Amino acid sequence: MMIIFATMKLNVEELRYYCLSLGEDVIEKMPFGKFNGASEVLVFYVCGHMFCYYDLAHFKVVTVKCQPERINELQASEQGITAPYNMSPRHWVGLDVELIDNNMAKELIRNSYNIVKSKYTKKRP
């Protein structure tokens, strides 16, 4: 007998808690309240810079930063990797919440956090 485990789709609240759990330096804001159609966008920051965001009202795509050399490979091998929402496709990817595996999504969110944190953390001698 073969047992198949279904992958649950990303949940908006679990994703929020996961982003906040990445470090005490993570801050969440809804900075686009004055923009038509973007008032429900929740953004996560580290070192004052975005690493992840998604629309709470239309939870379809989570946008995260990614290494440019990794993007083509991810798009070719992972069904849930899409174009980012309103960001450069050279440095960002979209995670389709209907298609992407939760473990892959978490890995890419953590990767985005690490990219941004390492870029904006001052190197100590």
The domain spans of the chain are: 12-120
**What dihedral do alpha carbons 105, 87, 90, 123 form, nearest 10°?**
-80
pLDDT of residue 6: 43
β-bridge pairing 49-55 and 41-46: antiparallel
Ordered mean pLDDT values, 10 residues apiece, the chain (125 residues): 50 94 96 85 96 94 96 92 90 95 95 96 61
Contact residues for 23 (Cβ-Cβ < 8 A; gap 6+)? 46, 113, 117
pLDDT of residue 123: 57
Q: Spell out where the chain has E strands.
A: 26-29, 41-46, 49-55, 61-65, 81-82, 92-96
| pTM attached to this predicted model | 0.88
- Please say whether the structural domain 12-120 has been given the CATH code 3.40.190.10: no
pLDDT of residue 124: 47
Instruction: Say how far apart CA 91 and CA 65 lie, in whole Å.
Output: 6
